[in-house]
Structure 1
Amino acid sequence: MAHFYVGGKYVGEPGKEYMDGAMYVELWVPKQVRQPYPIVMFHGNGQTGAVWQQTPDGRPGWAYYLIDQGYVVYMVDYPARGRSPYVPSVDGQLGMRTATELEQIWTAPATSGGDFPRKNKYTQWPSNSPKKGMVGDPVFDNFIKGQMQFVGNQDKLAVPAGIALLDAIGKPVILLTHSQGGGIGFDVAEARSHYIAGMVSIEPGGPQIGTVDTAKVAYTRTNPSSWGLTTNKYEFDPPINSPAELKTHLEPSERPGDEVGCYMQDAPVHKLVHFQNMRILSMSAEGTYHRVFDACIPKWLNQAGAKDDFVRLEDVGIHGNMHEMFLDRNSDEVIKFIDNWLRKNINTKAVSGTR
C-alpha cells in the first residue's frame, strides 16, 4: 500500500500561496498481479475513497475483493474532500447531506419518507436493528460518520486531477465510477481515451440531457448546456462547436411509471470520437431512485458509437440493492458480477491489443 497526490496548482497572492486542486490517491498492489489492467475507482458525492474499503457493518469492501483477484487498485479522494486540500476562498461553499436525506434516498426509503417508485424494492441494508437504516441503527450511525462535505462544482477540480492521475499511471486502466464519479470519469475518458481499457459506470449522475423529478418520473426541464454526458465539451464527428447543434428528441419510455423516456440524437447522429467501441458496463440497482433515468446514458453512448452493456441488477439475479450497492449486505455478489464481466469483455482483450 502507498499513497501520493496528483494535480493541483498554487493560488493566491505572492507570499500567500495555497495549493488548490490536488487529489489524494491510495494505491493497493496485490502480492501477485494477475490482471492486465489496474482499476481506478472514482467515488460519488459526499464520499471518499474509504467507501471502497469497508462496508458500514464492518465487512471488507470491494477494494479487498479486487486485490484478492489480482488487480492493482487506485482509490481517490476528490480535491476539496477527505484527505485532499480544500481552499475556502477558491473552492467555494461546502454542502452536506442531512441524516434524513440519507435515509430517504439511500438507506431506508420505504420507512423514512422516500419518494420514488422502487423504494419498496430496497432490502439489502446490512443491519437487523429495529431502526434499520435510520438514526439509532448502529450501522447507519457508523455509515453517516463517513459522509463528507462537498463543493458545488466538483468536476472543475476532479477532472484535471483525474487526468493527472491517468498520466501518472501512464498505461491503460479500467475506470470504475459511481454516481458523481460517473460524469467525472466520462470527462477524464474524453481527455485520455488512449488510457481507457474499459469502464464500469455504476448509476452515473444524469440523465444526459434533462433534469428528472424522480417522484413524478418526469422531466422538469432540459439542459441546453449539455454536451450529452456532461456540460463539458466533447469531440463529435461530424464536429460541432456548441451543444445547441446536438438536435435531440424524446423517445417514449419502455417502462412507463418506472423509467422516463430518453433523449436521443436526431439523424444524422454525431459520433463521440473518443468513445468509439469503448467497452462499458453500466449498472442500475433494483431499489434505487436512479432507476428512473439510469437507462438513458447507456442509450446515448451506444447511439454515439460506444459499446455499453446496461444491466438492471435484478435481471441477473441480484436483488434488493440501492444506489450505493457496494455497501449492501450482498455487495460481494455485485463485485463478483463486475469482475466476471471484466474478465470476459476487457481483460481478455489485453492479449490481442483490442479495446
Structure 2
Amino acid sequence: MKLRLTLVLAGLVSSLIPALAADPAQKQSIAQREFFYIGGRYRGAGAGEVMTGQMYVEVLRPVKIRRRYPLVLIHGAGQTATNWMGTPDGRAGWADYFLSEGYVVYMVDQPARGRSAWHSSTNPMLTAMSPAMVAQRFTAPEVNGNWPQAKKHTQWPGSGPGKGQKGDPIFDAFYATQVEYVASNAETEPMMQAASTALLDRIGPAVILTHSQAGLFGWPLADARPKLVKGIVAVEPSGPPFEDVLTGVDGKARAWGLTDFPLTYDPPATGASDLKVVRDAGPDGPGLATCWKQADPPRQLPNLKDIPVLIVTSEASYHAAYDHCTARYLSQAGVRNTHLRLTDVGIRGNGHMMMLEKNSAEIAAKLHQWIAANVK
C-alpha cells in the first residue's frame, strides 16, 4: 500500500510539472513574503482609544529582482488585495505574473478596509455592493448592463446560463471576497493620501498601478511625491472628470477634475471653483460620453507632467464610454499619457475586473511591456 501510494503521488507530481512549466505565471520564485502597516494615528481616550487610518501592506520579493522599481498595486471599491492574488476560478493573479517578471510587488488594503481596521467610533460609514450590482457592473454586464458596450462582454470565467451571476460557483467565490467600504470618496481620499505617501516615503520610488476607485488616489499621490512616482498604470480609473455617468448618480463629481482631493495646478487654484470648465459640443462617437474639460487657457498639473501615465480600458466595461475623457483631461493639463483600449491590441471581450478574467495574464503582459518601455 505504501509503495503504491508513493507511485501514485510521484505520477501526480510528474503530471503537474509540464503544466506548471507551460504557465508563465507559475514560474515565479518568491524569495520573501512579508507584511507591515503604514500610517495611522491614535484617536480617543482611555478604554475607547484606538489607532485609525493605518494601511495593511503585503510585500512579495522575487528570488532575483530584475526591475528597477517595485510595483504598488491599489485595489478599487469593495475590493482588497485579493484582487491581485488569484482569480476566482483558481488561476494565478497579477501579483504572481509581475513577480515572475522580476518586480518587487506591494499590495495594500485601503485604510478602513479588509485587514486595515475600521472603527465605528472614528471612521466614516460603510456601504457594500449587492450581488445584483456586482453582476451588472463586473461579472455579467452582458445580461443587464445599461451601457452600449456591455453586450460585448465574454471574458468572465465559467460557463452556462448562470455564468457571472449569484449561484454560479465562480461568481460566489468572487462575491465572497467583497467587503464593506467607506461610502464617501471625499472621506476615503484623505485617508489614502496620508497612508500612500507614508508608504512611498518608506519604500522609495515605485510604479503605481491603480484600479477603478483607486484611480482617485494615484493622481494626488503623484502630485505629493512626484519624484517617487515613476509611472502610473491607471486601469479604468474612477472618472470621468467633473461628472458621474452611467453607473453613478448623474451629476457633479470630482470637483478637482480627476479627484475630490485638492491638486496642484499652475496657475494656482485656491479652490475647486477656480477651475473653469466647459462641455464638448457632443460625444466623439456612438456609445461615448460627452466630455467635460477646462476652459481655455487650461491650468496645468506641473507635478504630474514628467510622470508617464497609461490608462487602460477594456472593450465591454462601462469605462469604455468615458475613459477617453480622463485621458484628454490629462493631456489638456500637460500630462503625457497613453490611452490603451485593449481592442487596439486585439484583446476583446473584457469587463471592468480584467485582472480576474480568462485572459488576465495576456493583459498583464501588455502592462509590463508598457512599463518596460516607458518607465526610466
Provide closer, same or farther for how the CA distance between residues 92 and 237 of structure 1 changes in structure 2, counting only shifts above 3 A: closer
1:195 corresponding residue in structure 2: 228
CA distance in 2, matches of 1:233, 1:286: 31
Pairs within 5 Å for 1:56-95? 56-95=88-127
User: Secondary structure, in 3 states, of the residue corresponding to 2:118?
Assistant: coil
Cα distance change of structure 1 residues 86 and 294 upon mapping to structure 2, 3 Å threshold: same
Counterpart code for 1:160: A
Among residues 168, 176, 187, which one is paired with 1:137 in the alignment?
A: 168
Q: Which residue matches 2:215? A: 182
| 2:177 alignment counterpart | 146
Whether 1:222 aligns to 2:252 is yes
State the distance in 2 between where 1:309 and 1:164 align: 28
Please say if 1:305 is aligned against 2:334: yes
Residues 312-323 of structure 1 aligned to structure 2 (within 5 Å): 312-323=341-352
| Partner of residue 4, structure 2 | none
| Alpha-carbon offset, residue 189 of structure 1 | 1.3
Q: CA deviation digits over 1:195-251, x for unaligned, max 9?
A: 011010011111111121359xxx94334x711111211111111212222112112
Letter in 2 for 1:135: K
Matches of residues 1-355 of structure 1 in structure 2 within 5 Å? 1-111=33-143, 113-153=144-184, 154-169=188-203, 171-213=204-246, 220-223=250-253, 226-346=255-375, 349=376
1:264 is displaced (CA, Å) by: 1.6
Preserved CA contact (<8 Å) 1:237 1:273:
yes
Q: Deviations for 1:284-343, whole angstroms, at most 9, x for unmatched residues?
A: 110101222111111111111111101111111110000110000000110000001111
Structure 2 Cα separation of the partners of residues 249 and 158 of structure 1 = 30
Counterpart Cα distance in 1 of 2:319 and 2:71: 24
Task: Name the structure 1 match of 2:20.
Answer: none
Deviation at 1:256, TM superposition (A): 3.4
Deviation, structure 1 residue 180: 0.7
Contact 1:130/1:137, CA 8 A, preserved across alignment: no
Counterpart amino acid of 1:40?
V
Moved more, 288-297 or 253-262: 253-262
Distance between the aligned counterparts of 2:316 and 2:284, measured in 1? 15
SS for the counterpart of 1:100 is: helix
User: Alignment identity in percent?
Assistant: 40
Q: What's the CA shift for 1:23?
A: 0.4
Kindly indicate whether the alpha-carbon contact (under 8 Å) linking 1:175 and 1:196 is maintained by their aligned counterparts in 2: yes
Residue 14 of structure 1 deviates from its aligned partner by 3.8
Partner Cα distance (1:222, 1:31) in 2? 48
Q: Which amino acid aligns with 2:103?
A: Y
Gap runs ≥5 in structure 2: 1-32
Which residue does the alignment assign to 2:17? none
Check conservation: 1:253, 1:259, Cα contact below 8 A.
no
Structure 2 counterpart of 1:23, which letter? M
The amino acid across from 1:221 in the alignment is G
Residue 82 of structure 1: how far off its partner (Å): 0.9
* Cα offset, 1:254, TM superposition: 4.7
**Residues 241 and 293 in structure 2, CA contact (< 8 A), matched pair in contact too:** no
Structure 2 distance, partners of 1:69, 1:341, is 13
CA distance in 2, matches of 1:25, 1:239: 34
- SS across alignment from 1:193: coil
The structural deviation recorded for 1:24 is 0.3
Report if the CA contact (8 A) 2:189-2:261 is conserved.
no
- Specify the code of the residue in structure 1 equivalent to 2:77: N
Partner of 2:14: none
d(CA) in 1 for partners of 2:348 and 2:36? 37
* In 2: Cα distance, 1:66 partner to 1:343 partner: 12
> More displaced, 15-24 or 330-339?
15-24
Q: Alpha carbons of 1:238 and 1:126: their partners in 2 closer, same or farther (altered >3 Å)? A: same
Deviation, 1:190, is: 1.2
Aligned residues: 341
Indicate conservation of the 8 Å contact 1:277/1:305, yes or no.
no
With normalisation by structure 2, the TM-score equals: 0.88
Query: TM-score, normalising length from structure 1?
Result: 0.93
Instruction: Give 1:94 deviation, angstroms.
Output: 1.5
> Deviation digits for residues 123-173 of structure 1, max 9, x if unmatched?
00111243111112111111110011101232232221111111111x211
Question: Structure 2 counterpart of 1:118, which letter?
Answer: Q
